[in-house]
Every structure is written in structure tokens, then in C-alpha cells.
A = this chain, B = another copy of it.
């Protein structure tokens, strides 16, 4: 649900970076002096080329969190380095160790709603992969691509089309983000391979000491199963480099689905809010038996309305929007109280059979309707509805409005995304809690339910605010943090945490007095003794910073 402001707004006005762009602040990483930082940047520039290191205010401003109150961001980078080769990355990491300068890697820098491109530790060197954006290989026979970390969803889609390959990539809603970074963040895409976030196969990783590792079968020279078989011999480290700070991924295998005979995007509308749990139970059954074999997106009225309109179009009161207005929006926009977008893929006979089964099963719920239309491959690239294009691997920027719900062009949002069992009981209990907390905090309740697989779902709470309204921004982040802590006590953990409360989100994983933290820190210290890769990522800090009191409250 990566839905930032239009690029023009942010790039043009740099609302969140006033202090930096005016040149008043240059943050220096913890423990270093201005001179140390200068020497570190000079050494890196000397090693890989001056043109790859930028510390000017415009560049710095590009790599922040666009959804902060202007001037309030503290986690601002000191410089941005843009390698063009794996060797560059290795050189950067080795010099970062020598100079103790933290490095925060980003692919395209579009992690909006979870902190954008900004680093956790002020003054970190952002390592941007925008200039390493080649699709290195597409194999049609075996259905995979190998990509560099700067490849965007657009780049991958375009490379598939340019090669005339009868393959589809599982993509996100908004095409400007990075394939590798989204994968590393456990990001959710929509085609069949995205279930269990399992599209990737094989990483190449620059380790914190500059060594180069290939995971899975890639650990063997010239092993052709590197992008085919997820493991090798012995323990598999691939998942260890996701949502982590143990290394920097420089190549990734990504599975591509052969184009099916028929693609049939489907829409379920539900008019009675209280029947949502019944939809969840029916969906679980249809996913468990394989009838629905992709990631549906289930949104409540306000979540869907935020992609189409602005709050001010409907209501100008403070506090949560009254239910009567939500009902009016549901009817006026013809959305229903819940809208599920999903799809079938396959041979026409099987699609027909499954559609009839799905329709029968869901329409047993009294206010639910299911509609859809079949399309052959010639139609997919130009389907008028962007949601319908996304589900067959055609990315766009058309679903890009959400952040404007409150605050228009100056709107922002912060997301809180716990995972719950995909049952009526759990989704209802979670919803009761989240909507009540939204009411209490005076925010609208925007909910997107995204199944991880047939058994569990991420419940994405989108908390919208006006970035120009300082009190509202602060209230939104405070509200999100309360939800993290409250949900954590009930055993619901985030699948992905906003930078501003990564430590808090990680704190919730407290089994056996935080065994996971002890384990993560042991691994961190073994691989990255100087703690230079992405300090604070997922609540993991190296010894040097832990001993200095990080994370600071």
C-alpha cells in the first residue's frame, strides 16, 4: 500500500526538508566529527568516483521521509552515494567500516507510509541503487528474471514486454518502487507467486565486511539452479537478509509466471459492514482449496474512497467520520462497505468453473455480489481500470492518490500493519479494536486486508493526516504507536514497521524474554562488528551503538 504524494509536490516544494535544504543542518553520524565525515566521504569519492557521491541539499531532500511535518525530521542523511557496480558497493562498505560511517541502503527510495528513503540513524550515508537498475536476464523457458536492486516495477515490466516474453511479474500497486527493496521488506504483491511473499529465489549479498556471498544454489559457481531452487546444501541464509541489516543485496532472482490463457479480474462488493467476517471465512476456504490462488485486496469504504476522492469532498468535521457519511460514500461511489478485488488465471474452462463456484460461495452472504470479466492477453496492457492491470503485472502510477485523503497535496499517512489469522473471529476482534482506537484518537478508519496466504492476513491500518498540521501529524504517529503496543499485547505483530516505531514494533516480539533480540544481536555482532549497515533496522543495533545507549527513547 505504497501511496505517496505526487512526485512534483514533494520534489518541487521539499516540504519536509526545509531545515536541510536551507543548509542549516548537516547531520553527522553518532560518534563522528564533521572532519571525520568529510574524510569518509572524500575516501569514498576517491574510491568510486566523485560523481557518485552527493551531499547537496537537493539530493539530501530527495532521500527523506515525505510524510513528516516540515522541518521536524531528525533522521536525515549526511550524503547519498550511488554505486554503479557490485565492486563499488564493496568499496563503500569497506570504507564505511574504516571510517565508522553508517550506510543505509535503498533501492528506489519509495517506502512511503513506512518512512520513505530516510535512514534510522541521523547522518547515515544513504546508499541509493537508482543507478544499478539493469534487468540482467529474463528466461522464458524457466520463468525468471535476475535483477539489480535499483530495478523498478516499471523497468521489470518493460523489459519483459520489450523481450516479447510470455511472462508476467507479480507487481505492487504503484510502479515507481523497487522490486528488490519491496521483496526485502516482505512487501505484498498480487499475482499467484506472491502468496507467502515467495517470488524471489537467490540473492547476491555484499556482507558488512565487503565479502560477496550468493545464497541458495548460487553458493556454487555456475550453478544454473541459482534462480530456480531456493536452497543449496546446508543452511539457507536468504531470508536472513530480508528486513535486516546483515548485508546489502546486489542481485536477486525473481520468478515470473507464464501468461495464462485467460485472466479474469473480479470484484466483490459487500453492503452490510457486519457481514465482513463471513467474507473472510468464505475466502479462507476458497484459498485453502486453491480456487483463489493470488492475493486479494479487501478494502473498507474509506480506504477505497481515499484512492478516488479526498476527505474534504465528503466531510469537514474533526474526529472520525460518522458512519452515516461512510454509508453515503459507499452508495454515492457505488463501492459498498467493503470491496474486494481479486482474480482468476488459467484455462478458460477452469476459470469458468471457478468463477461459478466463487460466485455461489460468496453470494450466499446476503449483501455480497461478485462480478468479473474474462480477458485474453491482447487486452491486459490497456485495461481501463489500473487495479485490473496491476493484478496481471502491469504497473502504473494511477493508484497514487491515497495520501491526499487528509491534507490534499500536503497529505501523508503512516501505516500500521499487523498479521492476524484469517478467520472471522480474529479479523472481527482486530477490527473492533482498531476502529475503536481510531475513534478515540479522532482518525478515520481506513482498512486494507491483504491475505499473506490462505491462513493469515495483514490488516493494514492507513492513518491519514495533513503534513502541514503539526498537531495532527504528532497525533497520527502517537496513535500508530499506541496501536502497535496494544496489538502486540494481544499477540498481533507487524509484518513491516514504520521507521518511527521499528524499535517499538520489534519490542513486541518478546517470547522468552526477547530471545529473538538476543539472537538477532548475536548474528549482527558476528557479521557486522562495527555496526555500520543500517543501524536500527528492524530494531537491530550493533554493539557499538547499543553500548552508547541506542535505541534512544
Chain A interface residues toward B at CB < 8 A: 141-144, 186, 192, 196-198, 207, 211-214, 217-225, 228-244, 246, 255, 257-258, 260, 284-285, 288-290, 293, 346-347, 349-350, 353-354, 357, 419-423, 426, 452-456, 488, 490-497, 505-506, 508-512, 515-516, 518-520, 522-523, 525-527, 537-540
Contact = CB atoms under 8 A, between A and B. Distances in A.
Contacts of A141: 284, 423
Contacts of A423: 141-142
A104 to B, nearest CB: 16
A491 B222 contact: yes
A237 B509 CA distance: 14
Given A217-B493, A419-B217, A346 B456 contact: no
A465 to B, nearest CB: 24
B357 A353 contact: no
Given A234-B538, A497-B233, A516 B219 contact: yes
B143 A288 contact: yes
11 contacts: A142-B421, A211-B515, A211-B518, A219-B493, A219-B515, A224-B421, A225-B421, A232-B516, A234-B520, A235-B246, A255-B455
Nearest to A353: B349
A353 B197 CA distance: 29
Contacts of A246: 235
Contacts of A228: 421-422, 452-453, 455-456
A488 B239 CA distance: 25
A191 B284 CA distance: 20
Contacts of A235: 239-244, 246, 520, 523, 538, 540
A493 B144 contact: no
Pick from A505, A519, A538 the residue with the most CB of B within 10 Å: A519
B288 A539 contact: no
A453 B186 CA distance: 22
Nearest to A293: B290
A489 to B, nearest CB: 9
B197 A196 contact: no
